[in-house]
Chain A
Amino acid sequence: MSYSITDSCNGCGACARLCPVDAIHGEKKEKHRIDKLLCIECGACGRVCPEGAILDAAGNPCTMIKRSQWEKPRFDRKICTSCNICIDACPVGCLDLSEPDDRKDPHGYPCMKVEKACIGCGFCAAECPVGAVTMAVE
């Protein structure tokens, strides 16, 4: 399943600009469409649509949320294994490994590299096998 766009779409293009996998296309001021083979169900389009024209994979309408209210990942270093799964799962590449803090712990840990790029999809938290990543509004 993938997200879809209803006739309420006014063709503003906000969703297409945000889509991390280039799955949304359409002419300006015309109804856009989502390529279901490319959609990764990140939900960014639904959170940004001012018309409430996006349906999620289950067919439920999405609600626009102010960007400042989007959830962002938080990392618990005590639990984190530095396994990179969260970094690999991020569809916009906003996470990266930190440089080590000191010689006693030479590991890098995941951190927010480009905060503005985060779309609040929560894939990082969903894929973390040990629950070291949680999503919260700042």
Chain B
Amino acid sequence: MKGKSGYTGKILNVDLDGGTMSEETIPDEIYESHLSGMGLAAALLYDRIPAGADPLGPDNILGIVSGLLTGTGSFFTGRWMVVGKSPLTGGWGDANCGGSFAPAIKRCGYDGIFFRGISERPVYLLVKNGTPQLRDAAHLWGMDAVETEELLIEEHGNGARVACIGPAGENRSLISGISNDRGRLAARSGLGAVMGAKRLKAVVLAGKGRIHAHDPDEMKRLSAACNKWVRFQPPFVSGPFTAKIGALLRVMPTQMAQDGMLFKIILKKWGTACMNQMSIEMGDSPIKNWTGSNRDFGTDRSKPTNPDAIIERERIKYHCYSCPLGCGGICTMEGKYTETHKPEYETILALGGLCMNADADSLFEMNEMLNRAGMDTISAGSTVAFAIECYERGIITKEDTGGLELTWGNAPAIVELVQKMITREGIGDLLADGSKFAAERIGKNSAAFAMHAGGQDLPMHDGRNDPGFALHYSVEPTPGRHTIGAQLYYEMFQLWRKVKDLPKAQMLYSKDRKFETGEDKAIKAAACSKYVNVMNGAGLCLFSAFLGAHRLPLFEWLNAATGWNKTAEEYLEIGERIQTLRQAFNIKHGIKPRTFVIPNRALGKEPLSEGANKSRTVDIEPMIRDYWRLFGWDETSGNPKEESIKRLGIKQ
């Protein structure tokens, strides 16, 4: 049956000031030029959030959006996105999360729900049987994210899907996120604090509407073909052996362009934990607040978190909505909580190697604590590492920490510090907004040890090992983001197979070339940015892209879902438009893109004296200029040029 086309064409606007709600029809042209999801949100929020709006004030608009492909019969489309002005960076903010919440938005008949204003009292939004209503949330305020979700499901039935904040969001921690599916977090950009400031505790969606595709038979054909690649799963090495692969990649004089299928295979087996040891050994993961290396945190110390050790605790694997891969899992643990989501790579490394913490039990415990609190584990780990370095250097003392011995690898102290950050108790209050704000409060030249870009703490991928990461941390409108691009990603995406004129990755090349920072790298980075923006408009998970563009029928799915007939190049232009809108949003709000430069330490200035990234310095300045020029932005300031804005049809 041919009929409706991917998106619902409607959004719900909620004004928390007056408690009023209204449906709004979005013109088809918006979807055709921006897709749905992130693109739709960028188009609306660029217009609607006034310049200079206080991110925690009534003028900020917080949106939750679903992807264009979500629910249309395509795979990997379980990502929903939260958007708004970030209180952490002061610019465009977004974060996304998997689970079961993305289709719930569309089953209520909306592509997105947008909140402005501030409620006088805590409320939650309930959409059930086609009727939205704001309800009193006084009984939920103070509860953690898991308790909140469980109570709301008890009240509204098993079919209800819940996104909510925990205590971190209520406390307006600038590193707080929004949780769904019992502690999975849309973590970055600090948008949990925006929800907390609006006194919006939760969004409960219990719609049962159907989502249609223009050509469902073609959608199925494409999905079945894609699934053959997902199912390809040869036997692989043991978990501990992954560390040896990492060591091999470190010492090899040459570099091989990596087919993302290799990553897919280990991801399917272990989840993101597959990279825990490999990454340290090859120099991808920063250690000891970016001052250490595999020499400081070798395989003996990372062994308790090797991939096999993690899945040993896994009780059941889970899949996000429409995901055939299934990288997630529920793990059993001892202590106050008996279960937790399988800790992600970023969590294990941020609270592990970055803090020199080798205690696996404490990592599981903090994973659950932070998930329930609704606090970003990357930022939390990075801020703890910053605090430890300050303590070790005598910048903060035992008096400041409330008696905690904040030394490298002191697991009990790290756990207690994280608890204090969640509750904003003592030194925890000082650290609860991430390392940038903590450094501003502490002073004493501590800013040199705060590893962030524009306020966003850096993820666990080292630009000294892949300059592409350093570049994206700096040029992204939401800085410090590891899910956009890198040299490695470009090789795995294999976009040149779909998009003419993009350079093909060389299969084997000298290791030195990996660390060069020429225009070639900027071209690849720009292509990654555009592609990921298309994915975020479609609602796809980043991990699907690692299948390779020739195995993941993203553009074909979009055409079959909507009835359009766009080329790959036309879709990448949509990606370019979304990226330019997000950058223009920042300019409108007074952000100077140059301020998103990452710290010297993360660029190898001074270079490390040993380990995988020994003697390496990254000069990202030429790449930044090239990247901005390729987007039609001013090479010096990063401001989108007038002609680019006009070419992309962006209204000013």
Residues of A whose CB lies within 8 Å of any CB of B are: 20-22, 35, 37-38, 40-41, 81-85, 88-89, 91, 93, 97, 99-100, 106-108, 123, 127, 129-131
Contact = CB atoms under 8 A, between A and B. Distances in A.
A40 B209 contact: yes
Given A41-B210, A88-B100, A130-B223, A106 B329 contact: yes
Given A129-B220, A130-B224, A40 B208 contact: yes
B331 to A, nearest CB: 11
Contacts of B318: 97, 108
B317 A106 contact: yes
A35 B323 CA distance: 33
Contacts of B319: 81-84, 107
Contacts of B100: 84, 88
Given A37-B130, A106-B316, A129 B73 contact: yes
Q: Name the residue among A40, A89, A129 with the largest chain B CB count within 10 angstroms.
A: A129
Contacts of A129: 73-75, 219-220, 223-224, 227, 322
Given A106-B329, A129-B322, 20 more contacts: A40-B208, A40-B209, A41-B210, A81-B75, A81-B231, A82-B326, A83-B75, A83-B322, A84-B319, A84-B320, A84-B322, A85-B73, A85-B322, A88-B321, A100-B315, A107-B316, A129-B220, A129-B223, A130-B223, A131-B220
Given A93-B158, A127-B73, A21 B208 contact: yes
Contacts of B322: 83-85, 129
A40 B210 contact: yes
A42 to B, nearest CB: 9
Contacts of B71: 88
A22 B324 contact: no
A122 to B, nearest CB: 12
Contact of A83 (B157, B159, B323): B323
8 contacts: A21-B130, A38-B129, A84-B321, A85-B321, A93-B158, A129-B322, A130-B223, A130-B227
B284 interface: no
Interface centre among A20, A107, A130 (most CB of B within 10 A): A130
Contacts of A37: 130
B111 interface: no
**Residue of B73, B78, B324 most packed against chain A (CB within 10 A):** B324
Contacts of B317: 82, 100, 106-108
A88 B103 contact: yes
A84 B74 CA distance: 12
Contacts of B316: 99-100, 106-108
A83 B73 CA distance: 11
Secondary structure class of chain B's binding surface, majority of residues: loop
A-B CB proximity, top 5 nearest: A81-B324, A129-B223, A91-B208, A106-B317, A22-B129
Interface in B69-123: 71, 73-75, 78, 100, 103, 107
B314 interface: yes
B110 to A, nearest CB: 13
Interface in B208-250: 208-210, 219-220, 223-224, 227, 230-231
A31 B120 CA distance: 44
Contacts of B321: 83-85, 88
Interface in B311-354: 311, 314-324, 326, 329
A133 to B, nearest CB: 12
Contact of A93 (B103, B159, B219, B231): B159
A82 B210 CA distance: 20
Contacts of B130: 21, 35, 37-38
A81 B318 CA distance: 11
A93 B129 contact: no
A14 B219 CA distance: 36
A80 B593 CA distance: 47
B314 A106 contact: yes
Contacts of A91: 208
B230 A81 contact: yes
A100 B329 CA distance: 12
Contacts of B103: 88
Contacts of A21: 129-130, 208-209
Contacts of A88: 71, 100, 103, 107, 321
Contacts of A99: 316
A21 B321 CA distance: 21
B339 to A, nearest CB: 13
Interface in B142-160: 157-159
A64 B401 CA distance: 72
A24 to B, nearest CB: 12
A16 to B, nearest CB: 13
Contacts of A41: 210
Nearest to A21: B208
Contacts of B315: 100, 106
